[in-house]
Amino acid sequence: QVRTMRMRKKAILILAISALMFAICYFGQISIESKKYPSGRDTIRSFGNGTFQLLRSNVYGTKGKVLYMCNEINTCIIGDVQAIREQGNSVVVIGSPYKDYSGNEKVCVVIDLSNNVMEYCVWPSCNQRNRFILYADKMSEAGCAVFYESVFDFSEEKQQIIQELLQQLD
């Protein structure tokens, strides 16, 4: 009778462990599949469905962070991320166009996580988008980016966050 009880306990334990393993595998697969663009080994953080990813970079021995768009276009958005803030359903990212950039312009990007569309502007210069980003026209046509002439084209709430991040960089 004692032996039968031990066998039942072992059987229940094996079933519980099996059910737990199945649940972990099943739900883990669902969460991975929900990302349209999965993270890679250099990904620090992925936003939304994975369209935008913050990546580690090591350009010419200089370590940094890069904001990258992972979709049909696949291009670098900000070559040297210097400030980032998540606020509600948006991510605001500020940085230099590329590592060791000597100009005073900053790239300001706001990512809308609800639709994976970015708003892009160069501060303080106006209409500099084609100077710092490849495939800007293609991105506009695909509906995955909106390019502004001025930082004042952002909503007031986004302007405030951008100004706060820019002040932190000074």
Distance CA 57, CA 65 (A): 6
Q: How remote is the C-alpha of 167 from its chain's centroid?
A: 22
Report pTM.
Answer: 0.73
Q: Burial of 88 by CB count in 10 Å (0-12 exposed, 13-18 middle, 19+ buried)? A: exposed
* Whether 71 contacts 157, CB under 8 Å: no
pLDDT in 10s for each residue of the chain, 170 residues: 667 777 788 888 888 888 887 777 666 554 444 677 777 788 888 888 888 888 888 765 567 788 888 777 888 888 889 999 998 899 999 988 877 777 778 889 999 998 889 999 888 766 655 567 778 888 888 888 898 888 889 999 999 999 999 888 87
DSSP SS3 for 87:
strand
Distance CA 52, CA 84 (A): 13
